[in-house]
Structure 1
Amino acid sequence: MQNWNLIVDKQIFIINIKLLHVFNRKITRFQIILFRMDVEDEESTSSAPVKVQAKKRKRRRKNKNEDQEEYEENKSYANQINQKFGSSKGFKHKDETPMFEVKGGKATIKNSGNHRLTVSRTLDFHMNKLFQWEEEPDAIESAYICALCHESGRKRELFGPYYTTHNPIKHWPTFLAKKPLQTAKKPVKIELWFHGSCALWAPNVHLHGSQLTNLEHQMDIFWSQNCAICRKNGASIAVQNKKNTFVHYPCALNKSYKLDEHTLMCNS
């Protein structure tokens, strides 16, 4: 247990930080309790000592039994997720301890690699369950890799196939399939696979039921944009304050770029 004193506008705030280890047996939860205390005015002309009295505030205290029940419930869910999606016993860096990382004067919590892998696998699993499809034999079969980041499904699951029809494709994805011969403005249909996280971070691509909408238009745009990190096309995430600069989702993660889930952009 640790207390920090913060003085703002002659008022003292005592911050009490409590760490609860739950997810992966060691997840951090912050319960911050603020107590406001009156402080003697520095400009007071009175020389007599003044006693500082804390203002009493009624606070609802959680029953210890409620805290314990919530902890046990969260721990049970965390164990179930970890057993299903956690790394194997042979994982070399199975360190589950979260850490504080200070950058630019701001402290953030950095979870372990095992924790991030478990969360990513869980997300991909549930994303994959959402999608139902019917195979279309007239479509060009593509390589079993992500149509955005070029990576396979070994680390993260791929979902699909999804089909897009182009007439014609302005920027053909040669990393997915050989470019067909152009014949009298005949539409070209191609199958596509995506990582769940790559699709989620693709601007103007939305999940409607079990379908991804606006793919035809957006994929032409993404295939025309090269990643500023790996130099491969398919980059969908714009870098803030850098005109015409784009990156793939996994490339941004590897470079520790800050991702903004509201704007679907990142900051290097």
Structure 2
Amino acid sequence: MEDSESSSNAIAKPKAPPRKKKRFRKKNAGEDEEYIENKNVAKTINQRFKSKNVKKQDETPMFEVRNGKAVVKNSGNHEMTVSRTLDYHMNKLFQWEEQADAIESAYTCALCHISGFKRELFGPYYTMHNPAKYWPTFLAKKPNVKKPVKIELWLHGTCALWAPNLHLVGSQLSNLDPQMDIFWSQTCSICRKSGASVVVQNKKNTFVHYPCAQSKGYKLDEHTLLCNS
């Protein structure tokens, strides 16, 4: 028994491995300079996009009493986001984007055939038209296709204003595709060219261009009907 106890005591318990000391890597001067430079750049960007009217504490909506009534006061960040979104949509509404897939047309009014070098034209506007039905050869060469294609158009402000069923929405003219097909199928009773849009009063199927009506001294009423002077 003594021998067994002595042998068991002779077996030493395994010692726990010593803990490794944490080594702290020294930062060289180059890393410190890079950190400082990145921090300065980030600070500059934050200052550039930070609104002057937004306070640090103004981050959440809250109720505020005004003239004895409780109203919701939105956070400064919310007001800034709404303002930027509104500006973006307004700028997009009043700007036009050039469409490379459209057929380039002559700098001529698509209604009255008068060149833009004589009077200012507005545009370009873009419409889809089927060459098989009618194509304005005075604007661009007729494409050899049987499907609708996109073409750019330029218009005088007065010609577009007095053309029926055209409405200016932002920088675009609504309902332009079907109306241009109708106008191009109508011949001016004065110059005998296509694109006539103004209806002659009391004369069935008689149309004229706005500049042609002016040259003849005709007067236009608010319903875009031509009245003889």
TM-score (ref. length: structure 1): 0.49
* Partner residue in 2 for 1:236: 197
* Partner residue in 1 for 2:227: 267
Paired AA for residue 171 in structure 1? Y
Q: Provide the C-alpha distance between the structure 1 equivalents of 2:199 and 2:152, rounded to a whole number of angstroms.
A: 25
TM-superposition CA deviations, 1:165-207 (whole Å, max 9, x none): 1245622111101110124xx3300000001111001100000
Greater Rg over alpha carbons, structure: 2
Judge conservation of contact 2:201–2:227 (CA < 8 Å) in 1: yes
Judge conservation of contact 1:131–1:160 (CA < 8 Å) in 2: no
| Structure 1 unpaired stretches of 5+ | 1-129
Q: Provide the C-alpha distance between the structure 2 equivalents of 1:132 and 1:266, rounded to a whole number of angstroms.
A: 33
Relative contact order higher in (CA < 8 Å, ≥ 6 apart) = 2
Q: Provide the C-alpha distance between the structure 2 equivalents of 1:156 and 1:203, rounded to a whole number of angstroms.
A: 21
What secondary structure sits across from 1:221 in the alignment?
helix
Percentage of identical aligned residues:
76
Aligned residue-pair number: 136
Q: Verify: 1:258 aligned to 2:219, yes or no.
A: yes
What secondary structure sits across from 1:216 in the alignment?
helix
Higher helix share: 2
Q: Verify: 1:162 aligned to 2:162, yes or no.
A: no
| Structure 2 unpaired stretches of 5+ | 1-92
> In the superposition, relative to structure 1, how do residues 238 and 169 fare at CA in structure 2: closer, same or farther (>3 Å)?
farther
Paired AA for residue 160 in structure 2? A
* Partner residue in 1 for 2:207: 246
Q: How does 1:1-268 map to 2 (within 5 A)?
A: 132-167=95-130, 170-183=133-146, 186-260=147-221, 262-268=222-228
What secondary structure sits across from 2:154 in the alignment?
strand
- TM-superposed CA distance for 1:253, in Å, is 0.2
Higher strand share: 1
Q: Provide the C-alpha distance between the structure 1 equivalents of 2:171 and 2:197, rounded to a whole number of angstroms.
A: 21
What secondary structure sits across from 1:251 in the alignment?
helix
Q: Provide the C-alpha distance between the structure 2 equivalents of 1:191 and 1:266, rounded to a whole number of angstroms.
A: 28
Tell me how large the CA RMSD over aligned residues is. 1.5
TM-score (ref. length: structure 2): 0.57
Q: Provide the C-alpha distance between the structure 2 equivalents of 1:173 and 1:166, rounded to a whole number of angstroms.
A: 10
Which stretches of structure 1, 4 residues or longer, exceed 6 Å deviation after superposition?
none
Q: Provide the C-alpha distance between the structure 1 equivalents of 2:186 and 2:155, rounded to a whole number of angstroms.
A: 17
